[in-house]
Amino acid sequence: KGWEDLDFNDIDYKKVEFDDSNWVYIPKIKEKDSLMIKDGMINYIFKYNNSFLSTGVIWLRTKIKIDDISRDYYLNVEKGINRVDQTFFNENLIGNTFSIDGKRNYKIPKEILKKGENLIAIRVTNIAGDGGFRSPVILKNDVTSNEIDLSKFKYKHHAFLTNGSSIIVHDYNYVELVDNYKNIDKKIHRGYVTSSPYGNSISFEKMLKPIIPYTIKGVIWYQGENNVNEYKEYLELFSGMIDDWRENWGYDFPFYYAQITPNIYDDSLLSHELRDVQRLALKSTFNTGMASLLDVGLENNNHSPKKQAVGKRLALLALNNDYNFDIVSSGPLYASHKIFKDYLEIDFDHKGSGLNSRGELKDFEIAGENKIFFAASAQIVDDKVRVFSNANVKHPKHIRYGWKNWVLGTLFNKEGLPASSFNSINEN
């Protein structure tokens, strides 16, 4: 309710008679950007890697023609809108949701329909990550269903988000934002926000420090999506955080964490590198464990709703290591590989009662000294994985598995726990 009532000096934007002639249309989707047909995210409008403009308050307006006004309609966005939306139809609020993944299925009562032209106006408030539509926008009734062309939406970036919580209304136009956003960013005075849950020191002081006097059995941790751009620093930061928490509590409690799930992201982000840093953190820390999630990701959502699998796998680590349950608690983890004439043979830790595959083994690649990788076929032989030579790699040396943003794991142990992706180059 609170988000609906916030006044950003933009109440006129929902009105039918508002003049949006100086607003800009969402660009038509190019073939090379076909993934955006599924997403329609705001960062596509303002160019990738520009979190400054893909967060904040963005308004979208479009006019649609309706001939049949004898029945109720629904506005549907199956995979949700990131992150908060207030959606208006002919100036009437039809929905208000605070959720990344929550399905939008807003009823449009026939009483507010007009024969001919009707207005849809949506205020999107995005506080982190990629904002906007996570799937096509559908207008439907009990007889028809039609997708609304995203390029028919006009939009305006109305307010910046700073410090994770401060909203600053502005009046820059599209050209000024895109061409000069770095200078604009520097000019904005952020001040000091003491209540933002997104500041690291604030989170520690307000959330962790008050409970440090109390004894804890251990920690479970699920985080990393926001660090895919900084994967090179993550190992040191993550290991340092674990050490710091243990020092503050005064003892070396177990620390179990979930590897981030695969997700399509975009080509400039290297989430597989972050996944591998999380795998390598097992070697740079002690009394830790990692739950691999290579099989539960969703292609267009970096927050997989399959949380039960995450919880169960973290529980397996605690039950095995801390409560004396004799169970397999981890999926296979790369241990080493040997080079033979026609294949590379990979050995794994945590094989449980044996290696297994779900369907054909996929996403294994090999490379020679030049570290240029090519796809290779693989199969399980004697509880190891043999990856066979590719014609493009005469002298294979390196091996990797699941090395891309979006992948669905095929290698498991017989207990059903997935192997982590890996790159043997990173072992050193």
Please write the tens of the pLDDT for every residue from 148-207: 998 899 999 998 877 656 788 888 887 888 777 667 766 664 444 444 555 566 678 778
Is residue 317 located within the same domain as residue 398? no
Split into its structural domains, the chain has a count of 3
Residue 130's DSSP bridge partners are none
* DSSP run (H or E) holding 381: strand 378-381
**Residue 86 within any structural domain of the chain:** yes
Which of 153, 187, 221 is the C-terminal boundary of a domain?
Answer: 187
Give the pLDDT confidence score for residue 390 in this predicted structure: 86
Positions of the chain with pLDDT under 50: 1, 32-39, 48, 189-195
* Rounded-to-integer distance, Cα 58 and Cα 271, Å: 27
Residues paired with 291 in a beta bridge: 258
* Size of the chain, expressed as the number of residues it contains: 428
The pTM of the full predicted model, rounded to 2 decimals, is 0.61
At residue 79, the pLDDT reads 84
The pLDDT score that the predictor gives to residue 420 is 98
163 shares its domain with 262: no
Same domain, 212 and 163: no
Handedness of CA 75, 76, 77, 80 (dihedral sign): positive
**Domain termination residue (choose one: 154, 187, 220):** 187
According to DSSP H, which parts of 106-211 are helical? 174-187, 200-203
Asked if residue 156 lies in contact with residue 59, where contact means CB atoms within 8 angstroms, the answer is yes
Residue 244 structural domain = 200-322
Reduce the secondary structure of 119-134 to three states and give it as a string: EEEEEEEECCCCCEEC
Pairing of strands 154-162, 56-66: antiparallel
Give the number of other CB atoms < 10 A from CB of residue 402: 26
Render pLDDT for 218-259 as a digit per residue (tens, 0 to 9): 999 999 988 888 899 999 999 999 999 999 999 999 999 999
Same domain, 359 and 307: no
**C-alpha distance across the termini of the chain, in Å:** 52
316 and 376 belong to one structural domain: no
For residue 90, tell me if it sits in a domain: yes
